[in-house]
Amino acid sequence: MAASLEVAYIFRRHGDAFRQAHAGHLGRVERRIMGAITACRTAALGGHVEQCDDCGTTRVAYNSCRNRHCPKCQGSARLQWLADRQAELLPVPYFHVVFTLPALASGIAFQNKAAVYAILFRAAAETLTTIAADPRHLGAQNLAYNIRRFVWLRTKYAAA
């Protein structure tokens, strides 16, 4: 079985060059995350012995970094979150609609999260209800929706 490409492998192979190329733009947090992902499940973090409760078989495993940005450590949490969301779905068609704030409003939203997101959620709900009720679209009198806030931040590297 071929090994899959991992972020840790890319960091190990190209991390030093990346750090040097972006030395002026990489902060302490980004460097710490890269270090955690690189060290995750390697001898650098030590290890532990796992034992099966049924048969007593033991194995030595390297410790995890437990960093919230680590794809290995958060992989099972992500899969569980997806399974939980899929369990909530009804057997009906779903539509994914995205509402975004203009870039100029991002500073206001950052400083006034509760107020701005309350306005955005209310406007999104009213828009969906209005459009769905229109006979040219769904003509629906009852509409169920689930609004979630996702924050998309452009990194400072996007233009590089």
Residue 70 within binding range of Zn ion, rule CB under 5 A: yes
- Position among 72, 116, 129, 140 found at the interface with Zn ion (CB under 5 A): 72
Nearer Cβ to Zn ion, position 64 or 129? 64
Contact 38, 15 (CB under 8 A): yes
CA distance 143 to 22: 48
Token code pair at residue 98: 């995205």
Stretch binding Zn ion (CB under 5 A), from 46-54, 63-71, 110-118, 148-156: 63-71
Residue 65 within binding range of Zn ion, rule CB under 5 A: yes
Task: Kindly give, in sequence order, each residue whose CB lies less than 8 Å from that of residue 25, ignoring residues fewer than 6 positions away.
Answer: 156, 157, 160
Stretch binding Zn ion (CB under 5 A), from 14-22, 36-44, 139-147, 149-157: 36-44
Contact 4, 10 (CB under 8 A): no
Stretch binding Zn ion (CB under 5 A), from 60-68, 81-89, 90-98, 117-125: 60-68
Question: Angle between the 28-39 and 7-21 helix axes, to the nearest 10 degrees?
Answer: 150
Nearer Cβ to Zn ion, position 38 or 128? 38
- Position among 73, 124, 125, 131 found at the interface with Zn ion (CB under 5 A): 73
Task: Kindly give, in sequence order, each residue whose CB lies less than 8 Å from that of residue 36, ignoring residues fewer than 6 positions away.
Answer: 65, 67, 69, 70
Residue 40 within binding range of Zn ion, rule CB under 5 A: yes
Minimum distance between the CB of residue 39 and Zn ion, rounded to whole angstroms?
A: 8
Backbone φ and ψ for 117, nearest 5 degrees, come out as -70, -30
Residues in the site for Zn ion, rule: CB under 5 A? 40, 64-65, 70, 72-73
